[in-house]
Structure 1
Amino acid sequence: MTDPIGTTEPTASRPFPCGGCGARLEFTPGTTALTCPYCGFQQQTEAPQRAVREHSYDQLVALPRKPVATLAAHVYVCHRCGAQTQSNAISESCQFCAAPMVADTAALEQIVPEAVLPFEVDRNGVRTSLKSWVNSRWFAPSGLKKVSEAESVKGTYLPHWTYDSRTRSDYVGQRGEYYWETETYTVTVDGKSETRTRQVRKTRWYPASGRVQRDFDDVLVPGTHQVSPANLDALAPWPLERATPYQQDFLAGYQTLRYDVEPEAGLTDAKARMAKVIEKDCEADIGGDEQRVLSVQTQYADIMFKLMLLPVWIACYIYAGKTYQIMVNGRTGKVVGERPYSKVKIALAILAGLVALGLVAVLYLKSQGS
């Protein structure tokens, strides 16, 4: 296996000094401002000068980028304390002084993000969401409550691809229509046989074929393998219409993963997601009481794509030697994740159930005896 190649020179990054005390500025969720966590000084983010752009998939080969497997880690030099940090993320915090470090887009060597959906849920909101989620988990160990502490979670922007496409699909299938037949059967009543009838539903199938068309907009595909795609999908829905053109300010104070799913692989995933919707369209077009879709041939036109950053709070919880990951949608507060079960609580619940059952049995026997 070859080692990744790439530059070991320091990655250009923008400083975020506080204009009040000289410390650091971080993006404040739910606002359009950067705030100093020490003196409270605020600085407004720059207003976007353009709309969110998308790329034609036909022009993908013309975009400057390197394959993910060949990329080296970024080498950040902290503007505040001078420490060096190596990271695969495109934004990080200095491990020594916590100053924000955001890579210049020119240093990414990948397709650059075109849009970002800024954090709206802050740490207090995360604490509230996690507390509600934890309290609703039956048989959860008492230690799970620790994840509701704001310090145990990390704000992270996760890369996603979005795809648009016009589709035209030709299908072959079958339309099922119900009809009823009278069926005779025999039952025994008081030792005597009786003949009865009942209506039985059956399906008559007819060949069907046709064409359906649909325009897809912003089909969302996770751009990283570092987080479970199923969990990322479960965090939906996302208010993608609220996304803003990418700018570094929104990343200040947060980690931002660079994508490790290439856009070609993302399109394959997007087409699979579109196919599920197209099959439903085919079923609706077939009509009848039941439908069978035997084959679908889809043509894709005007494919557009972009790289978007979505906000997620991530917490990890270790229980009985196993790590559980919990995520919070940084816009809606929705919580998704695994959870451990407390064997002690389950055993106590079973014991309590057996005791309750025993008491019921004792009361019943006493009532019978009286």
Structure 2
Amino acid sequence: MTSPTRTPAHPCQGCGASVAFAPGTALLRCPYCGLEQRIAAPAVAIREHSYDAFLSAKPRVQALARNRFSCPGCGARTESDALSRACQFCGTPLVADLANDSQIAPEAVLPFALDRGGARQALRGWVKTRWFAPNRLKTVTEAETMKSTYLPHWTFDAQTASDYTGQRGEHYYVTTTHTDANGNKQTRRERRTRWYPASGQVRRGFDDVLVGATGQVPGERLKALQPWPLEQALPFDARYVAGHHSLRYDTEPQAGLEQAKQVMAEVIQGDCRRDIGGDVQRVHTVDTHYSQVTFKLVLLPVWIGSYLFGGKTYQVLINGANGEVQGDRPYSAVKIAMAVLAALAVVATIGCWIYLENRA
């Protein structure tokens, strides 16, 4: 009995196998026969979605429904929280059908610019600059595992109006007199500050405030990969994630907006200080009103890898757009001790020089 013919989601026009997006190009490439197919330029624009309209819509199911995949290569049926992945049995690239997904669909994707070779080169450059790492770390030229992964992020736009209260400090100088240890009177100028009450309002528009939408990667590590060239993002097309792993979001827009507001608050604090003026400022209260809030889900490219050193596994993340590397690394106790001794030697030398100068 012959098995039924299965058609891949993105079949190769040459051999019929599943094709994958080739980083740094606008092509789908067959891993078997090498035939390339160009991805047509997007016919739609990236849209921003009203946050108020999202809140007023029908309540969303909180539990994350798993995507069901039916492999066109071997026929295996599997479930996963990912949007795209490779079949665990035959390696065929799989992409979820988002038409009936209960989650918000990605609006944009920033395609991979770095291929596996570029990620390796970025890792080698990063390793060479780890000054306090053991010398043997420089022999690590490639991560043991290196997976191209699209990570979900929210972007938020908003118009803000912030009423603040605070104080403006203006410096002035006075001359004071004191008696030194030898009984001689000495004068010196001292800086002092007069404080005046201040209040006002500042306004600012925010565009594409970025926050991570997955808890599977530490938030601080994701922030360290910024900035991202979001202006190069394209309307979401499943062909750009074909052959690459893609995570679904597990941070809802409500929680994402609260994180975005924290980012905005730091900028607004600076606006308040500039509006207060003077030499120094104190900001006591800030009451911000948000309007015209919009958001979208965007997938950003990250090479996620790990390497084994000294019997311990270390994780690294590589920005798939510009090669920025963030990760864990070992430290050399010998190098750190030598650096401390060198610093102490410099301090001792300066101390001796000052002592000799005072005795001369």
TM-score by shorter chain over 0.5: yes
What's the secondary structure of 1:18's corresponding residue?
A: coil
Choose the corresponding residue for 2:157, options 137, 142, 164. Answer: 164
What's the secondary structure of 1:200's corresponding residue?
A: strand
**TM-score, with structure 2 as normaliser:** 0.87
How far apart are the structure 1 equivalents of 2:75 and 2:326?
38
How many Å apart are 1:340 and its aligned residue?
A: 1.6
How far apart are the structure 1 equivalents of 2:146 and 2:138?
13
What's the secondary structure of 1:233's corresponding residue?
A: helix
What one-letter code is carried by the residue in structure 1 that aligns with 2:18? R
Give the direction of change, closer, same or farther, for the CA distance of 1:263–1:344 in structure 2 (3 Å limit).
same
What's the secondary structure of 2:122's corresponding residue?
A: helix
How far apart are the structure 2 equivalents of 1:104 and 1:286?
53
How far apart are the structure 1 equivalents of 2:203 and 2:341?
58
What one-letter code is carried by the residue in structure 2 that aligns with 1:102? V
What's the secondary structure of 1:282's corresponding residue?
A: helix
How far apart are the structure 2 equivalents of 1:155 and 1:60?
31
Equivalent residue for 1:130?
A: 123
Does 2:321 align with 1:327?
A: no
How many Å apart are 1:18 and its aligned residue?
A: 2.1
How many Å apart are 1:352 and its aligned residue?
A: 10
What's the secondary structure of 2:275's corresponding residue?
A: helix
How far apart are the structure 1 equivalents of 2:186 and 2:266?
44
Give the direction of change, closer, same or farther, for the CA distance of 1:344–1:195 in structure 2 (3 Å limit).
closer
Residue 170 of structure 1 contacts residue 297 of structure 1 at CA under 8 Å; is this kept in 2?
yes
Residue 142 of structure 2 contacts residue 307 of structure 2 at CA under 8 Å; is this kept in 1?
no
Equivalent residue for 1:362?
A: none
Give the direction of change, closer, same or farther, for the CA distance of 1:241–1:137 in structure 2 (3 Å limit).
same
Equivalent pairs: percent with the same residue?
55
**Unpaired stretches in structure 1, ≥5 consecutive residues:** 1-12, 358-370
Residue 161 of structure 1 contacts residue 222 of structure 1 at CA under 8 Å; is this kept in 2?
yes
Equivalent residue for 1:216?
A: 206
How far apart are the structure 2 equivalents of 1:147 and 1:101?
31
Number of residue pairs matched by the alignment: 339
Equivalent residue for 2:88?
A: 95
Give the direction of change, closer, same or farther, for the CA distance of 1:229–1:185 in structure 2 (3 Å limit).
same
Give the direction of change, closer, same or farther, for the CA distance of 1:288–1:344 in structure 2 (3 Å limit).
closer
Report 1:1-370 matches (<5 A).
15-61=9-55, 66-68=60-62, 70-141=63-134, 144-145=137-138, 148-149=141-142, 152-188=145-181, 192-319=182-309, 323-343=313-333, 349=338
Residue 183 of structure 1 contacts residue 200 of structure 1 at CA under 8 Å; is this kept in 2?
yes
Residue 12 of structure 2 contacts residue 19 of structure 2 at CA under 8 Å; is this kept in 1?
yes
Give the direction of change, closer, same or farther, for the CA distance of 1:252–1:291 in structure 2 (3 Å limit).
same
What's the secondary structure of 1:106's corresponding residue?
A: coil
How many Å apart are 1:80 and its aligned residue?
A: 0.9
How many Å apart are 1:143 and its aligned residue?
A: 6.1
Residue 21 of structure 2 contacts residue 239 of structure 2 at CA under 8 Å; is this kept in 1?
yes
How many Å apart are 1:107 and its aligned residue?
A: 3.8
Residue 326 of structure 1 contacts residue 335 of structure 1 at CA under 8 Å; is this kept in 2?
yes
Residue 143 of structure 2 contacts residue 307 of structure 2 at CA under 8 Å; is this kept in 1?
no
Q: For residues 61-86 of structure 1, give each alpha carbon's deviation from its aligned partner in whole angstroms, at most 9, with x where no partner exists.
A: 46678444x12332312111112333
Residue 65 of structure 1 contacts residue 110 of structure 1 at CA under 8 Å; is this kept in 2?
no
How far apart are the structure 2 equivalents of 1:142 and 1:21?
47
Residue 90 of structure 1 contacts residue 108 of structure 1 at CA under 8 Å; is this kept in 2?
no
How far apart are the structure 2 equivalents of 1:178 and 1:300?
35
Give the direction of change, closer, same or farther, for the CA distance of 1:134–1:67 in structure 2 (3 Å limit).
farther
Q: CA RMSD in A?
A: 2.6
What one-letter code is carried by the residue in structure 2 that aligns with 1:79? P
**TM-score, with structure 1 as normaliser:** 0.85
How many Å apart are 1:105 and its aligned residue?
A: 1.1
Give the direction of change, closer, same or farther, for the CA distance of 1:351–1:312 in structure 2 (3 Å limit).
closer
